[in-house]
């Protein structure tokens, strides 16, 4: 069941940077995306069309997309929360969008200020527009293995949400362990339940590393045939609505794991470590990535 090829979806330039205290300019984010592409990554989240009042780190996402408009070799999804965000993304040339929902009612209210049902209605409008325009749609479900407010989350609820997003037109659904509480058996069971609704090929796994379980969870899902993994260079990220949650699993750590398993992911580990080193200096804190720390110590 283990695949011989894994597609990495690099979420650092959006999901990672949006939680950093030190914002990067649009020009710096363009340079980062170009560097990640040079390292072999082809699926890179480029930004978010939410209000800069709520997420100032993503201001200028239109500039980022416009600057990268010639990169037809890259998939550059951008997060859109509503119809207005979608329209702004299209003006900037978006060819792929992402919608973002939660498996927990309380988290949905805290994160996007509406119920799960209302969020689905909002996404339905966006997805209808995107399908008519031939725009690819990615769907995110957060808190799939636990909620900071409600605790455990019903797997059946997550599977139902995955099915609803697929019905709306999402060609891929990313299962997000937002607070990083999942363990391998639970991650595997969740993925199987969602795969029974939408198919394994239409899923990506998105683990945060709060409890140090992200790589173990990824391996558990790879072993049942998952072929798409979200990761953030340097382990960037976190969640402003979940106190104490760590960043995304680091891209370098995932690449090191995959190389050890003999699985191709088309990413250059040395280049990723160099990108992380530069980012760490710019952001003013050491990398969360264990691989980057080890490799940079050896270089020193």
Q: In 3-state terms, what secondary structure has residue 177? A: strand
Cβ neighbours of residue 277 closer than 8 Å, sequence gap 6 or more: 287, 292, 296
Residue with tokens 């207005």: 84
Q: Interior CA angle at 53 toward 284 and 112, to 5°?
A: 100
Residue with tokens 């250059």: 268
Q: Rounded to whole angstroms, how far apart are CA atoms 191 and 187?
A: 6
Side-chain-side CA neighbours of 225 within 13 Å: the count stands at 10
Q: Rounded to whole angstroms, how far apart are CA atoms 178 and 189?
A: 17
Q: Rounded to whole angstroms, how far apart are CA atoms 161 and 199?
A: 14
* CA nearest to 27, candidates 67, 74, 71: 67
Identify whether 239 is a catalytic site residue: yes
Of 143, 170, 221, 239, which one is the catalytic site residue?
Answer: 239
* CA nearest to 277, candidates 256, 300, 258, 246: 300
The pair phi, psi for residue 37, each rounded to 5°, is -65, -40
Q: Rounded to whole angstroms, how far apart are CA atoms 298 and 300?
A: 5
Q: Rounded to whole angstroms, how far apart are CA atoms 254 and 88?
A: 33
Q: Rounded to whole angstroms, how far apart are CA atoms 116 and 56?
A: 25
Task: Report, as residue numbers or ranges, the catalytic residues.
Answer: 239
């Amino acid at each position: 069941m283990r695949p011989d090829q894994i597609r990495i979806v690099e979420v650092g330039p959006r999901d990672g940077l949006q939680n950093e205290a030190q914002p990067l300019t649009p020009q710096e984010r363009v340079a980062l995306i170009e560097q990640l592409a040079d390292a072999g990554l082809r699926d890179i989240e480029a930004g978010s069309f939410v209000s800069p009042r709520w997420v100032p780190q993503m201001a200028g996402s239109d500039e980022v997309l416009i600057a990268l408009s010639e990169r037809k070799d890259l998939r550059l999804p951008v997060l859109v929360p509503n119809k207005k965000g979608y329209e702004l993304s299209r003006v900037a040339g978006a060819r792929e969008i992402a919608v973002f929902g939660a498996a927990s009612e309380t988290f949905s209210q805290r994160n996007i200020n509406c119920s799960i049902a209302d969020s689905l209605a909002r996404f339905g409008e966006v997805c209808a527009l995107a399908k008519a325009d031939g725009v690819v749609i990615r769907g995110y479900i957060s808190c799939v293995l636990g909620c900071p407010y409600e605790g455990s989350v019903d797997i059946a609820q997550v599977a139902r949400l995955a099915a609803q997003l697929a019905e709306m037109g999402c060609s891929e659904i990313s299962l997000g362990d937002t607070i990083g509480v999942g363990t391998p058996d639970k991650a595997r069971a969740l993925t199987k339940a969602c795969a029974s609704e939408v198919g394994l090929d239409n899923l990506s796994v998105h683990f945060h590393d709060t409890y140090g379980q992200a790589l173990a969870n990824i391996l558990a899902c790879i072993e049942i045939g998952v072929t798409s993994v979200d990761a953030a260079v340097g382990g960037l990220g976190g969640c402003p609505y979940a106190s104490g949650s760590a960043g995304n699993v680091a891209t370098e750590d995932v690449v090191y794991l995959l190389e050890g398993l003999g699985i191709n992911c088309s990413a250059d580990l040395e280049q990723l470590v160099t990108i992380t080193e530069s980012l760490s200096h710019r952001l003013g804190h050491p990398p969360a990535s264990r691989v980057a720390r080890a490799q940079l110590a050896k270089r020193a």
